[in-house]
Amino acid sequence: MGLVDHSAELRLPTVAVPVRLALVGHEVVDAEVFVVDVGHGDLVDQVGGVVGVVAAFIPVRTQTKVRLLATHAIAWLSIAAVEPTPGEVVTLHDHQYRVELELAGGTVLTGTLLDSAPADRPRAIDHLNRAGAFVRLWTPERHYLINKAQIVGVTES
């Protein structure tokens, strides 16, 4: 009697999300990050869940090959900003911090940190010191997930 391969039954459907990716010590590249296809929802949240919570390694396609990348080696990744579609639920945030982030290696990113912190934690430093390896930075063109370990300094503007 032959063995039956059930691996296909165990796989979750995924979708490839186009990103710009900066690995520590490497040039920025266009890539695709794979997330579970839930059929709806914010792609930034889904990618953020993968790099910030789920695993030490994530599957990423660059050019023609898929590699497993260590999340600690990701300096930042970004997703093109998109306008919400009519009827889409949009999360409102209580606090906005306009900041300039200086990263190891000299990269400077300017944008807005959005937060819905409790009333007793209204400062940018409270937002940055929360649990989690990545912080989100919003710009009009791109939404960034930035590895906190790569942030050298933050200036509020």
Minimal CA–CA distance to 106: which of 21, 22, 30? 22
Indicate if 60 and 107 belong to the same structural domain.
no
pTM: 0.76
Select from 22, 56, 80 the last residue of a domain: 80
Read off the CATH number of the domain in which 28 is found. 2.30.30
Q: Is 90 part of any domain?
A: no
Minimal CA–CA distance to 156: which of 99, 113, 112, 108? 99
Q: Is 5 part of any domain?
A: no
- Spacing of C-alpha 133 from chain mean position: 10
Read off the CATH number of the domain in which 139 is found. 2.30.30.100
pLDDT band at residue 89 using 50, 70 and 90 as cut-offs: very low
Domain count, the chain: 2
The predicted-structure confidence for 39-73, as pLDDT tens digits, reads as follows 555 666 666 656 666 568 888 998 879 999 898 89
Instruction: Write the CA distances from 45 to 24, 152, 154, 157, integer angstroms.
Output: 22, 24, 23, 26
Query: What pLDDT does residue 118 have?
Result: 58
Structural domain containing residue 21: 13-80
> Which residues, in sequence order, are bridge partners of residue 22?
28, 76
Indicate if 17 and 74 belong to the same structural domain.
yes
Indicate if 107 and 56 belong to the same structural domain.
no
Select from 80, 103, 123 the last residue of a domain: 80
The predicted-structure confidence for 100-146, as pLDDT tens digits, reads as follows 999 998 999 999 887 655 566 566 677 677 778 888 888 989 989 89
